[in-house]
Amino acid sequence: MRAIKVLAVLAVVWSLYWFGAGYVLRTGIGGWFDGRAAQNWQAEFSGIQTGGFPLRHVTTLTSPALADPVSGAAWHGDWISFDSPAIWPGQQTLRFADTPHYLSYFDQTIVLQAQDLMAELYLKAGLALEIKRLTLTAGPWEIDDDKVQLAAAQSLELAMVQQEQPETYKIDVNATDFAPGTKMRTLLQSSESLPLEFQALSLDMTVQFDRVWDRMSLEQRRPQPRRIDLKLAEMQWGELRLFATGYLTVDEFGIPTGKIAIKAENWRRMLQMAQASGAFPTQLLEPAESVLGLLAGLGGNPNSLDVSLKFRDGSIALGPLPIGPAPRIILR
C-alpha cells in the first residue's frame, strides 16, 4: 500500500512537471515570435498545442510564417512541430509538413516539398541555445519555381557537428539521385546523353565561423565563415566527374583567398556548360580550352584535367587563366 501511495505521489509530481514544462515551452515559443514581431519581422502562427504526455513534449505550430525585413528571407509552411524528451528540452526534433513550403528572398520565391523533412538539434545547456550538432534529413524532395521543377532528389542528408573549437563545425552533405530540373538542364545546355540523375553529389568540409551558432544566429545575424577547409566535394553526372579539395580564408567583406584543387573528367564539356550558364566568360572559352587542353595533355589523359582555382585579391583564376571577380561568401 505504501508503494502505491509513493507511486501515486510521483505520478502527480511528474504530471505537474510535464504540464508546467509544456506551458513554459509554449510560452517561450510564443514569446520568441512576439520578440521578432517587435523587431518588425513578420512572425506569426494561427495555433499552438502540446502533446506527447507523459514522456515527451510535442509542440505543434499551425500556419507558421517568418520574414526578416533586413535579410529579405522569408518562410511559410502549413505546420511545424518541436519534439523533445520531457526531461530535457535541449534535444529537439523539428518535423515539417509534407505539404509545400514557400521560401522567399525579397521578390523571388521557390517552393520546397519534401517527405519526412526533419531536423535534429542537440543544444548546450543555457539560454544561448548553442548548437552542438544539427542534422537535416529528408526523403524524396523537389524545388519548384513558378511550377517549373528546378531540382529534385530521392533523399537529403546534412550534418553540422561542433568541433573542439566552438566556432568550428564539420559539415557533410549528401543528396541521393539528385536530378537537375528542365530549367537547369536548359540553362546548362545539357544534352539528352546525360542521365536524368547524378550518380554522386556530396560535400565534406570544416568551416570556422566568426562566432558560434546559437539563437542569436537567427535573431540577429548569421555567423560568417572565416576559414573553409574543403576535404572533398564530389559530383558525378554520367560521363562528367568532378572532385575538389582545398582551403579558403574569408575576410570580413566576404572576399575569399586560397586555392581549390580540381580534378575534372570530360572537362571540355563542363567548360562549355559553365559558359552556357554564364558562370564562365564567353570570350575566354576558346583560349581556356587551348591552355587547359595543353595542361591536360601534360598529364597523359587529354580528357582528364588537374588544375587549381586560385582566389586572390578579390579575383579568381582557373590555372593560369584569370576568370574575373571572386564571388563574395556572405551568409544572409
Residue 302 φ/ψ, nearest 5 degrees: -65, -15
Q: In the prediction, which pLDDT does 37 show?
A: 93
Beta bridge partners of 142: 113, 152
Instruction: Give the model confidence (pLDDT) of 146-194 as tens digits.
Output: 778 889 999 999 999 999 999 999 999 999 999 988 777 776 766 667 8
Mean pLDDT of the chain: 90
Choice among 18-27, 116-125, 179-188, 197-206 with the minimum mean pLDDT: 179-188
Instruction: Give the model confidence (pLDDT) of 46-63 as tens digits.
Output: 999 999 999 999 999 999
Instruction: Give the model confidence (pLDDT) of 156-165 as tens digits.
Output: 999 999 999 9
DSSP class of residue 127 equals: T
Peptide bond preceding 281: is omega within 30 degrees of 0, i.e. cis? no
Pick the residue with more confidence: 224 or 300?
A: 224
Neighbour-count burial for 48-86, b at 16+ CB within 10 Å, e otherwise: bebebeeeebbbbbeebbbbbeeeeebebbebbbbbbeb
Q: Is the confidence at residue 298, as pLDDT, over 70?
A: no
Residue 46, amino acid = S
What would the mean pLDDT of 28-41 be, rounded to a whole number?
92
CB 166 within 8 A of CB 130: yes
Q: In the prediction, which pLDDT does 131 show?
A: 95
Q: Is the confidence at residue 246, as pLDDT, over 90?
A: yes
Percent of the chain whose pLDDT exceeds 70: 97
Distance between alpha carbon 270 and the CA centroid of its chain, in Å?
Answer: 25
CB 265 within 8 A of CB 303: yes
Q: Is the confidence at residue 300, as pLDDT, over 70?
A: no
What would the mean pLDDT of 13-23 be, rounded to a whole number?
91
CB 171 within 8 A of CB 203: yes
Of 225, 226, 224, 228, whose CA–CA distance to 247 is shortest?
228
Alpha carbon distances (Å) from 98 to 114, 118, 231: 6, 10, 33
d(CA 97, CA 101): 8
Q: Return the H-helix or E-strand segment holding 271.
A: helix 267-277
Q: In the prediction, which pLDDT does 185 show?
A: 76
Residue 20, amino acid = G
Residue 16 φ/ψ, nearest 5 degrees: -60, -40
Q: Check: pTM over 0.75? Answer yes or no.
A: yes
Q: Is the confidence at residue 250, as pLDDT, over 90?
A: yes
Q: Return the H-helix or E-strand segment holding 278.
A: none
Q: Which of helix, strand or coil describes residue 275?
A: helix
Of 222, 226, 211, 223, whose CA–CA distance to 257 is shortest?
226
What would the mean pLDDT of 247-253 be, rounded to a whole number?
96
Instruction: Give the model confidence (pLDDT) of 213-231 as tens digits.
Output: 998 898 888 999 999 999 9
d(CA 257, CA 316): 9
Instruction: Give the model confidence (pLDDT) of 88-127 as tens digits.
Output: 888 999 999 999 999 998 888 999 999 999 999 999 988 8
Of 38, 105, 91, 28, whose CA–CA distance to 61 is shortest?
28
CB 276 within 8 A of CB 301: no
Alpha carbon distances (Å) from 235 to 134, 239, 251, 258: 24, 11, 28, 21
d(CA 219, CA 276): 39
Pick the residue with more confidence: 144 or 300?
A: 144
Distance between alpha carbon 75 and the CA centroid of its chain, in Å?
Answer: 14
Q: Which of helix, strand or coil describes residue 199?
A: coil
* Domain residue spans of the chain: 1-114
Beta bridge partners of 44: 65
Q: In the prediction, which pLDDT does 195 show?
A: 87
What is the biggest distance separating any 2 CA atoms in the chain, rounded to whole angstroms?
91
Q: Is the confidence at residue 268, as pLDDT, over 90?
A: no
Q: Is the confidence at residue 76, as pLDDT, over 90?
A: yes
d(CA 83, CA 53): 11
d(CA 305, CA 235): 15
Q: In the prediction, which pLDDT does 121 show?
A: 95
